[in-house]
Amino acid sequence: MDTSIIVLTWEDHVKTGACVRSLPAAAEIVVVDNGSGAEVSAALRAMCAQTGARYVRSEENLGYSRGMNLGVRHSTRRDIILANNDVIAGDEVVTRLVAALRDPTVGAAFPSVRNHDGSEATEGGRFLSVRVGLGHATGLSAIIPALRITTAPDRADWLTGPFVAIRRETLDAIGGVDESAFFYSEDLRLCWAVRRLGLRIAFVRDAVIEHENDSTAKKVWSREEISRRQTREFIRASKSQGGRRGRVATTAYAAGTVMRAVVARSTVRRAIARGAIEGLRTP
């Protein structure tokens, strides 16, 4: 199997071990320890020695993008899968995603995502346009589905990427995983970069993974803090992608989040509004 799977982890060896053991033995598996403490680091080293995975350590937490790029530099095979450590994926998942990459028009392949209870967890959406931003600001997105930022996975411009397959040549062509953010919106940026090459995103419905969403983030951040950071990075990424139109679109979208926070008066809504404003102000 000409596939390298990069598993990024921080302060966890239990979920990481389960993830590695679910992957094909024929794949090259690179576990990137993103600055874990001594005890977790020792457990990860032992697990890698037992399973045959390659252990790569960073002495500091590099964040998602830099950590993944570190792992890619230690990999050798033609196709690459970027994997969160809280994913369970069998041999068939990897085979089906890699098979999708054999189509030269496909730049990246994404699986169908399920929660532990089997419920649907695949997320995707449209790139933020002026039309979609204004729909969010005016509330029209509530009654007109075409103005919503989220959409069905098979029609999405971008998909969330806890387990994404990409050819090495494609990843090289886009300059690796975009390191503009420490955490969040890497998948949005990756899909944008792949599409700018004239390639498309493949949603492989019959490649099904199990994923625990935000398991690492929940160790250190509250629900409100996660929402703030997610929104901030979404706005930052969308603003950089669209030039002048991107600035108009993100300003409109941010206005919509502020109005919803005023109406709903919930802590999460307020956190989302703060994140949107921060995203507008941050390069």
Question: Could you report the per-residue pLDDT of 129-185, keeping only the tens digit for each?
Answer: 999 999 999 999 999 999 999 999 999 999 998 999 999 999 999 999 999 999 899
Asked if residue 162 lies in contact with residue 87, where contact means CB atoms within 8 angstroms, the answer is: yes
Asked if residue 192 lies in contact with residue 97, where contact means CB atoms within 8 angstroms, the answer is: no
* Res. 213: pLDDT tops 80: no
pLDDT of 202 reads: 97
* Res. 19: pLDDT tops 80: yes
3-state secondary structure the chain: CCEEEEEEECCCCHHHHHHHHHCCCCCEEEEEEECCCHHHHHHHHHHHHHHCCEEEEECCCCHHHHHHHHHHHCCCCCEEEEEECCEECCHHHHHHHHHHHCCCCEEEEEEEEECCCCCECCCEECCCCHHHHHHHHHCHHHCCHHHCCECCHHHCCEECCCEEEEEHHHHHHCCCCCCCCCCCCHHHHHHHHHHHCCCEEEEEEEEEEEECCCCCHHHCCCHHHHHHHHHHHHHHHHHHHHHHHHHHHHHHHHHHHHHHHHHHCCHHHHHHHHHHHHHHHCC
pLDDT of 98 reads: 98
pLDDT of 252 reads: 95
* Res. 10: pLDDT tops 90: yes
Over its C-alpha atoms, the chain yields an Rg (Å, rounded) of 19
How far apart, in whole angstroms, are the C-alpha atoms of residue 225 and residue 149? Answer: 21
Asked if residue 49 lies in contact with residue 125, where contact means CB atoms within 8 angstroms, the answer is: no
Which pLDDT tens digit goes with each residue over 246-276?
899 999 999 999 999 988 779 999 999 999 9
How far apart, in whole angstroms, are the C-alpha atoms of residue 271 and residue 137? Answer: 17
How far apart, in whole angstroms, are the C-alpha atoms of residue 71 and residue 86? Answer: 17
pLDDT of 117 reads: 87
pLDDT of 265 reads: 79
> Between 213 and 193, whose confidence is greater?
193
How far apart, in whole angstroms, are the C-alpha atoms of residue 74 and residue 23? Answer: 18
How far apart, in whole angstroms, are the C-alpha atoms of residue 272 and residue 67? Answer: 26
Q: For the chain, what is the mean pLDDT?
A: 94
* Res. 240: pLDDT tops 70: yes
pLDDT of 215 reads: 66
* Res. 242: pLDDT tops 80: no
Count CB-CB contacts under 10 A for residue 86.
22
* Res. 235: pLDDT tops 70: yes
* Res. 203: pLDDT tops 90: yes
Which pair of tokens denotes residue 72? 């890619």
Task: Quickly state the pLDDT bin for 199 (edges 50, 70, 90).
Answer: very high
CA–chain centroid gap for 233, Å, is 12
Count CB-CB contacts under 10 A for residue 87.
25
* Res. 214: pLDDT tops 70: no
- Please state the rounded mean pLDDT for residues 11-21: 96
- Please state the rounded mean pLDDT for residues 57-70: 97
pTM, full prediction: 0.94
Burial (CB < 10 A; 0-12, 13-18, 19+), residue 125, is buried
How far apart, in whole angstroms, are the C-alpha atoms of residue 177 and residue 72? Answer: 10
